[in-house]
Amino acid sequence: MASNFSIKHQPGFTAIAATCFVVLYLPIIVLVAYAFNAASSTSEWGGFSLRWFQSAYQNTQVIDATLRSFQIGAIAAVLSTIFATMAALATTRTAPYPGLTFKYAAINQPLMVPEIVTGVALLIFFSRIKIFTGYSGLGYLIAAHTAFCIPFAYLPIRARLENMDLTLERAAADLYATPWKTFRRITLPLLWPGILAGLMLAFVISLDDVVITEFVKSGGQDTLPTYMLGQIRRGVTPEINAISTAFLLLSVAIVTLFFFVSRKRD
Amino acid sequence: MASAEEVAKAAERRDVRDRWLLSAPALLVILLAATGPLLIVLVYSFLTPGAYGDVKWQFSPDAWISVFMERDIFDDTLSVAVAHVTIFWRSIKLAVVTTLATLALGFPTAYFMATRSEKTRDLWLFLITIPFWTNLLIRTFAVLQIIRNEGIINTILLKLGIISAPIQILYTDTAILIGMAYVYLPLMVLPIYASMEKLDFRLVEAGYDLYATRFKVLRKIIFPLVKPGVIAGSILVFIPALGAYVTPVVLGGGKNMMLSNLIELQFGQGRNWPLGSALSITVMVIVMLALLAYVRNAGRSGVRHG
Amino acid sequence: MNWKTMATAMGLALLASTGLARAEGVLNIYNWGNYTSPDVIKKFEDKYKIKVSITDYDSNDTALAKVRQGGTGFDIAVPSQTYVPIWIKEGLLLETDPGKMENFKNVAPEWANPEFDPGRKYSVPWAWGTIGVVVNTDAYKGPADTWGIVFNTPDELKGKVNVVPEMNDVIFAAIKYVGGQQCTDDKAVLKKVRDLLVAAKPNWIAMEYNTIEKMGAGDFKATSDWNGSALRQRLANAAIHYNYPKEGFGLWSDNVVVLKEAKNVENAKLFQNFIMDPENAAGLSAFHRYANAITGSDKYMPADMKDAPEVVIPADAKPKGEFQKMCAPETQELYTKIWTELQK
């Protein structure tokens, strides 16, 4: 107490973290700045203008693609996080049992394949189903995204679980709490940071995906990345910056709002 | 006594059954929309390329031979596939360096986040993910704006008179490295944060009581405790980095292929799907072996420390 | 932030992203990205009360692979002429017989009966162009009507040349430069090609598609490129010139076809006919910046395209242009090997 000795302090860590945040946000600032660029290239500054917001607003293709990205991302992230949490509960804090190694391998498998390979494999497989059932909706993209998001959601949740011992849960069980109640009241709150990290990762990974989506998508199912991929050959316009900026601001606004609302309630 | 044993056995059986049920949805989705279809790729690797893409249903080991060996198109000699080895090696090297770079940046950042007050931690978590609510292509283009010759870094350095001509960062392996470290950073930070957030600082305190230095506390107490997170993060960065497709093309200038580009070439303009399939399986095997070795190694040393 | 607020946030995101209502008639177009004029589409939608949806692809091979597997839900695609025969041969196309359509009379005679689709049984011209060399004359003033800019780079341009990484286009140019025939499998010629490419590569700064921006901003001082892309670059920077290599340059065209599995065949046919109208064809050109094959479209063309040197091939260069063909699979395999060696 006499000196300011903090047990949590590690020399240089705060500086590195600060650098990290600056580095993370620098490109985003540039991205946002160029959204207000009057020039039609993403590389030279032509003065302040809102023209790209206007033109993005009128470009239904890019707006649809952006919304679709968020839609698929949100659904796939939630589904994969739920499945990953269940799988993590089933594969941690236990003595080895038959099939455990198989489960590890199976769950992590989507990670180990370059995207292009999964893309081609899914193209062949889903096409058969599309022809057979006549259904060619967003379900395929959601299924594919959920599948490759599971390992991303699973790893942080599992890492968190491995650091949790069973004492509290055993105590709850001793007090005749039902397994569900124990899960809701004890396990879930303790596991929450892991789940949140998993959910975020899954969402981000789904938003990023280009190659698998490119191969799986049917008519009218462009996401923002596949739309951009199609544009690269012929020049990307600052419309992309504008639409990204709009959605960044929107998500930041929503997140901030909920953050303050939930803090006030606490 | 025997009945008690039976009860215990039954409970264990039930436990295993429950665990299978719990993992069933994840396994099912992966089987249907990821692993199962890969069997097609395995089968394709043993077929003959179709004339204009796809395959002919005719057995051929050629794809597998040409993964490792190449027949010189001019003097017809058979030798080790130097081009493939070079591309594999470059990809592995870049993926390893990217993993180390993100670990060096990500570990302190996760530590910083985990040591904030409980209420602000979620805020930091969101702060670190928000840049990633834009997709990978956009982020890569944003990095390009910063490191290009007319970009911010070069402009500032020029204005300050530190350099007299722009440094060519774009279109080098360094550019790929910077780009990959940037886009994959949250994949490292989040898992480490998730396991660090639970860190029991009484153990750290105990360490200081025993006159350990800060570095020793970090190395002997904190690091072993968050090891599962570090392992998870490393895996999440290493594998996507190994299969990176967009970043090398946009920032590396596409002059030198990476694994994904090589595989894509076979499925695209090269029209050799069997070779593409065989190369993919080779990558999968390498990744699995690396993963096994890594997890074994890390697991063992974890036990020693813990 | 707890799970309830998270769920609400997710719910809001979902709510914001619910799809748009579908109109009665629909048409699903599968086309290269950033290639379809929104104005022309709007006009088509208004005229026929059809809702058009556009989905992008970025390479002929991806498009072919997807359509061949089937179940895509697309009605129309726009493959390049090298690929059209494959699409026909593989039975992917519907014989809509555009040659008998009302607006077919507008198709320029030299485009009415092409080798890749004799009698225009399947396809309607969308755009055509050339592949040449673009040079920023501020950086290099010498003669630039040669592939030598790329393959034997003059000192002023060393380390500033980009090559658009279309394997077949690059090999085509290299074969022309060493004096061979396109699609050659002559080992002596290919050895020269390989050595030429490997020796040239250290002088290149990059091999990428994003030339419009990079040439405009000055990252590149020269590049191999498509003519429409060169036009856009010149409009951004007057010092940029497009050149027709004297060793021979490639001609290409993209063509609108209707898929056999199309669900909206009548709408697709309407579209094929619609874009052969001169005014509409000019509208498409105004957006994608390439020439169309429709006579009478000139008077609707934007002023900056009418006499543009990128669009109108000069008389002396014309005989050097050559339609690119699809090479035999065995030849393609040789090219892939050379390409892999180049990019290893």
CA dihedral for B110, B112, B114, B117, sign (positive or negative): negative
Q: Flag whether residue C329 sits within 8 Å of chain B, measured between CB atoms.
A: yes
8 Å CB contact of B35 and A115: no
Q: What is the pLDDT along chain A (266 residues), one digit of tens a residue?
A: 444 577 788 888 899 999 999 989 998 888 888 889 887 766 677 888 898 899 888 888 888 998 999 999 999 999 999 999 999 999 988 888 888 888 888 898 888 787 888 988 999 899 989 988 988 899 999 999 999 999 999 988 998 888 788 888 888 888 888 888 888 888 898 898 889 889 988 998 999 898 899 999 998 899 999 998 888 777 777 888 888 888 788 778 877 776 777 666 55
* CB contact C211 to B (< 8 Å): no
Candidate from A8, A42, A196 with C-beta closest to B141 = A42
Q: Are A154 and B27 in contact (CB under 8 A)?
A: no
B113 vs A contacts (CB less than 8 Å): 17
Band of residue B30 on the pLDDT scale cut at 50, 70, 90: very high
Which residues of chain A are within 8 Å of residue B263 when distances are taken between CB atoms? 114, 116-117
* Contact check, Cβ <8 Å, B41/A263: no
Average pLDDT over residues B60-78: 87
Q: Which chains have at least 3 CB atom pairs separated by less than 8 Å from chain B?
A: A, C
For the residues C19-30, what does the mean pLDDT come to? 69
Query: Is the CB of B40 less than 8 angstroms away from the CB of A7?
Result: no
Residues of chain C in contact with residue A128, where contact means CB-CB under 8 angstroms, are: 71
Chains A, C: CB contacts within 8 A come to 149
Domain ranges of chain C: 24-128+252-306, 130-250+315-343
pLDDT of residue C90: 92
Length of chain A equals 266
Please tell me if residue C88 touches chain B, with a CB cutoff of 8 Å.
no
C33: its two tokens: 């990205």
Pairing verdict, β C222-226 and C161-162: parallel
Which residues does chain A have within 8 Å of residue C220's beta carbon, measured at their own beta carbons?
none
Say if the Cβ atoms of C62 and B256 lie within 8 Å.
no
Q: Do the strands C240-243 and C249-258 form a parallel or antiparallel pair, or are they unpaired?
A: unpaired
Question: What was the pLDDT predicted at A1?
Answer: 42
Beta-carbon separation of B256 and C218 below 8 A = no
Same fold, C24-128+252-306 and C130-250+315-343: yes
- CATH label, C130-250+315-343, candidates 1.10.340.30, 3.30.300.30, 3.40.640.10, 3.40.190.10: 3.40.190.10
* Residues 6 or more apart in contact with residue A51 via CB below 8 angstroms: A38
For B281-287, the CB contacts below 8 A with 24+ separation are B281/B41, B281/B42, B281/B45, B282/B67, B283/A112, B283/A113, B283/A114, B283/A117, B283/B242, B283/B243, B283/B259, B284/A112, B284/A113, B286/B88, B286/B92, B287/A111, B287/A112, B287/B239, B287/B242
Sign of the C-alpha dihedral, residues C95, C99, C100, C103?
Answer: positive
CB-based contact, B277 to chain A, within 8 Å: yes
- Tell me if residue C258 falls in helix, strand or coil: strand
What percentage of chain B carries pLDDT values higher than 90? 36
pLDDT, residue B4, reads 82
- C228 Cβ neighbours under 8 A, 6+ residues apart: C127, C129, C288, C289, C290, C310, C311
Q: Are strands C76-77 and C240-243 parallel, antiparallel or unpaired?
A: unpaired
**Distance (Å, whole) CA A85 – CA A153:** 8
Q: Is pLDDT above 70 for B191?
A: yes
Instruction: Answer whether C138's CB lies under 8 Å from C300's CB.
Output: no
Q: How many CB atoms lie within 10 A of CB B114?
A: 24
For C203, list phi and psi in degrees, rounded to 5: -85, -5
Dihedral sign from CA coordinates of A79, A81, A87, A90: negative
Nearest CB to A41 within list C34, C72, C217: C217
pLDDT band at residue C3, thresholds of 50, 70 and 90?
low
Is a pLDDT exceeding 60 seen at residue C266? yes
C135: phi then psi, degrees, rounded to nearest 5: -130, 140
- The structural domain count of chain A equals 1
**pLDDT mean across residues, chain C:** 91
Contact A255 C9 (CB under 8 A): yes
CA gap B6, B11 in Å, rounded? 8
For residue C165, the Cα-to-chain-centroid distance in whole angstroms is 13
Interatomic CA distance for residues A248 and B139, integer angstroms: 12
Residue of A208, C46, C170 lying closest to B132 (CA atoms): A208
B225 touches chain A (CB under 8 A): yes
A/B interface, count of CB pairs below 8 Å: 322
Q: Decide which of B287 and B97 is more confident.
A: B97
Nearest to C316 by CA among C245, C251, C252: C245
β-strand partners of B70: B79
Which residue in B122, B171, B250, B262 has the most chain C C-beta atoms within 10 A of its own C-beta, making it the best mutation to test that interface? B171
CATH of domain C24-128+252-306: 3.40.190.10
In angstroms, the CA C64 to CA C73 distance is 14
B245-259, B262-276, C77-91: range with highest mean pLDDT:
C77-91
Q: Which residue has the tokens 């095997």?
A: B285
Chain C partners within 8 Å of A120 (Cβ): 65
Q: What is the predicted pLDDT for the residue at C15?
A: 53
Give the structural domain span for A90: 59-235
Mean of all residue pLDDT scores within chain B: 87
Strand pairing of C240-243 and C204-206? unpaired
Handedness of CA C217, C221, C225, C226 (dihedral sign): positive
Identify the band that residue C288 occupies on the pLDDT scale cut at 50, 70 and 90.
Answer: very high
- The reply to whether residue B255 touches residue C338, judged by beta carbons under 8 angstroms, is no
Taking the Cβ of residue B87 and every Cβ of chain C, the question of whether any pair is shorter than 8 Å is answered with: yes
Q: Which of C64, C168, C219 sits opposite B148 (nearest CB)?
A: C219
Per-residue pLDDT at C305: 94
Give the model's pLDDT for residue B25. 95
Task: Give the single-character DSSP code of C158.
Answer: T
Give the Cα separation of C280 and C297 in Å (integer).
8
What number of H helices and E strands is found in chain B?
A: 15, 4
CB contact under 8 A, B53 and C61: yes
Q: How confident is the model at residue C214 (pLDDT cuts 50, 70, 90)?
A: confident
pLDDT of residue A262: 64
**Which residues from chain C sit within 8 angstroms of residue A211, using beta carbons?**
none
User: Is C340 within 8 Å of B253 when comparing Cβ atoms?
Assistant: no
> Could you give the CA distance from residue A200 to residue A205 in angstroms, rounded to a whole number?
9
Tokens 């949805």 belong to B25
Residues 6+ apart with CB under 8 A from C324: C81, C82, C168, C169, C172, C182, C250, C251, C252
- Residue B230, pLDDT > 50, answer yes
What angle is formed at CA C190 by the lines to CA C166 and CA C160, rounded to 5 degrees? Answer: 45
H/E element, B230:
helix B227-242
Q: Is B73 part of the contact surface with chain C (CB cutoff 8 Å)?
A: yes
Q: What angle do the packed helices B152-159 and B136-147 form, to 10 degrees? A: 20
In a mutational test of the B interface, the residue from A204, A236, A261 whose CB has the highest number of chain B CBs within 10 Å is A204
| N-to-C CA span, chain C | 49
Three-state SS string over B21-64 comes to: HHHHHHHHHHHHHHHHHHHHHHHHCCEEECECECEEEEECCHHH
DSSP reduced 3-state for C50: strand
- Using only C-alpha atoms, what is the Rg of chain A? 23
Residue in chain B nearest A104 by alpha carbon = B27
Q: Are the C-beta atoms of B196 and B111 separated by less than 8 Å?
A: yes
CA–CA separation, A120 and C65 (whole Å) = 9
Q: Measured in whole angstroms, how far is the alpha carbon of residue B124 from the centre of its chain?
A: 24
What is the predicted pLDDT for the residue at C19? 40
Contact: C204, B249; criterion CB under 8 Å:
no
- Does B146 score more than 50 pLDDT? yes
Chain B residues in contact with A152 by the CB 8 A cut-off are: 187, 236
Residue A240 in domain: no
* Of residues A234, B1, A78, the one with CA closest to residue C9: A78
Interchain CB contacts (distance < 8 Å): B and C: 97
Measure in Å the smallest separation between the Cα of A59 and chain B Cα atoms: 18
Predicted local distance difference test score (pLDDT) of residue A144 = 96
C108-113 long-range contacts, CB within 8 A, separation 24+: C108/C293, C108/C294, C108/C295, C110/C293, C111/C253, C111/C293
Does C19 or B7 have the greater pLDDT score? B7
Evaluate if residue C22 carries a pLDDT over 50. Answer: no
Instruction: Look up the CATH number of domain B71-305.
Output: 1.10.3720.10
- Confirm whether A190 is domain-assigned: yes
Burial C140-177 (b: 16+ CB within 10 A, else e): beeebbbbbbbbebbeebeebbbbbbbbbbbbbbbbbb
- C173 phi and psi, to 5 degrees? -65, -40
B104 pLDDT more than 90: yes
Q: Is A176 exposed, middle or buried (0-12, 13-18, 19+ CB in 10 A)?
A: exposed
The answer to whether C222 and C150 have CB atoms below 8 angstroms apart is: yes
**CB-CB: which of B35, B137, B195 is closest to A228?**
B137
Would you say residue B250 has pLDDT above 80? yes
The pLDDT of residue C17 is: 47
Instruction: Return the amino acid letter for C181.
Output: Q
**Do the domain assignments include residue A140?**
yes
CATH number of the structural domain spanning residue A191: 1.10.3720.10
Range among A236-250, B238-252, C18-32 with highest mean pLDDT value: B238-252
